[in-house]
Amino acid sequence: MEYLLARVTHQAPDFFERYVQFQTKVDTVTYDETTETFAVTTTKTTTEESSPEPQQQQRTFDKVIWAAGEYGIPKMPKEITQALANFTRGPVVHSTQFCRGTT
């Protein structure tokens, strides 16, 4: 891990300040086939005294990485849950439930 951090910050010492957002919830991600880009809408999960309202932002990217880990907030659209119900006899679980052993 130290090697990766050193390699990333060698060329861009402010890499994390410029490109990584902590304490941020991803609200939506949509892919535009025409432009081959992702529109990502986020909301800061903490509020600062100078800005009591949640700060929402939309940005466009050519690539998106999902890396919430086991503590991500489960989101299971009804359409997917209903479709899976036709193909499985057991419960449908989100990966966060599996990682925590709450199935």
- Residue 59's pLDDT band, with cuts at 50, 70 and 90, is very high
pTM: 0.53
pLDDT tens-digit readout, 66-96: 766 666 676 777 777 777 777 666 676 666 6
- Give the confidence band of 32 by pLDDT, cuts at 50, 70, 90: very high
Is the torsion defined by CA of 65, 25, 35, 16 positive or negative? negative
DSSP 48-93: BTTB-S--EEEEEES------GGGSPP---HHHHHHHHTT-SS---
